[in-house]
Amino acid sequence: MSLLCYRAARKTYGSVTALAGLDLEVAAGEVISLLGPNGAGKTTTLRLAAGLVRPDSGTVTVAGHPAGSLPAKALTAYVPDEPAVYDRLTGREFLAFTARLHGIPDAAARIAAAGERFHIDGFADRLCEGYSHGQRQRLVLASAHLLQPKVLIVDEPLVGLDPQHIRIVLSWLRELADAGGAVVVSTHTLSTVEEVSDRVAILNHGRVVALGPVADLASGDGLEARYLSLTG
């Protein structure tokens, strides 16, 4: 069953074509990683799924609902490449605000679980304005965790994280998919792709130039060589 589906999705910004007719499905139980050079269309692909932008033509759906619609948003969590938090809230207040915004009934239990998972209790009662990049990233990931999404969209999730928390995040991505969710990750870290992903989509100039299981794309000279041959 496909939880996220792009059909001939096209997006331009002025004279720049970010996506030139994307066809892609992400199934329940799957982690798919997007690879590509800067400007390849990865972030636009994620933003379309999150409903932050709309395709100029074609469709993007989440569990059959148009991306950005209320039913789609109820199933989706999006973690951008720059962790956005409210500087004048504490981390704990930020999570409580997120829970109220989404109408989460068992908020206290979910906040506690997310805080424990991403080790934020040590700084959760300080104002976010004093957080390091890694602490902000962990807080934003914790806020996505408490939503318990069916579709998780993550842009460069490991930037600023230490090895311990990289391991925690990768385990969470895999667990979410194994529980029946769909995960889409944009990253430049090939080792991450090979460890956690089921499939890889390589984008270049707004088009998917390769799509398949990690093992297939990594066969021969390896994933890095395949990536460079298609994008260099």
Q: So what's the pLDDT on residue 232? A: 79
Query: Minimal CA–CA distance to 25: which of 9, 7, 42?
Result: 7
Say whether pLDDT at 1 is over 80. no
Dig out the tokens for 229 from the structure: 């041959």
Confidence bin at 195 (pLDDT 50/70/90): confident
Q: By three-state DSSP, how is residue 175 classified?
A: helix
Confidence bin at 85 (pLDDT 50/70/90): very high
Q: What is each CA distance from 169 to 39, 119, 161, in whole angstroms?
A: 25, 11, 9
Global pTM value: 0.93
* CA terminus-to-terminus distance, the chain: 34
Write the Ramachandran bin of 127: left for phi over 0, alpha for psi from -120 to 50, otherwise beta: beta
Q: What 3 state SS string does 96-159 have?
A: HHHHHHCCCCCHHHHHHHHHHHCCCCCCCCCEHHHCCHHHHHHHHHHHHHHHCCCEEEEECCCC
pLDDT (mean) for 174-198: 92
Dig out the tokens for 231 from the structure: 């994008």
At 76, give phi and psi (nearest 5°).
Answer: -120, 140
Confidence bin at 105 (pLDDT 50/70/90): confident
Confidence bin at 10 (pLDDT 50/70/90): very high
- Condensed to tens digits (0 to 9), the pLDDT of residues 16-73 reads 999 999 999 999 999 999 999 999 999 999 999 999 999 999 999 999 999 999 999 9
CB 151 within 8 A of CB 76: yes
Q: What is each CA distance from 124 to 95, 96, 128, in whole angstroms?
A: 9, 11, 8
Q: So what's the pLDDT on residue 66? A: 97
Is the alpha carbon torsion for 172, 176, 178, 184 positive or negative?
A: negative
Q: So what's the pLDDT on residue 194? A: 85
Dist. CA 217–CA 205, nearest whole Å: 19
Dist. CA 46–CA 4, nearest whole Å: 11
What rounded mean pLDDT belongs to the chain?
94
CA 93 to chain CA centroid, Å, is 23
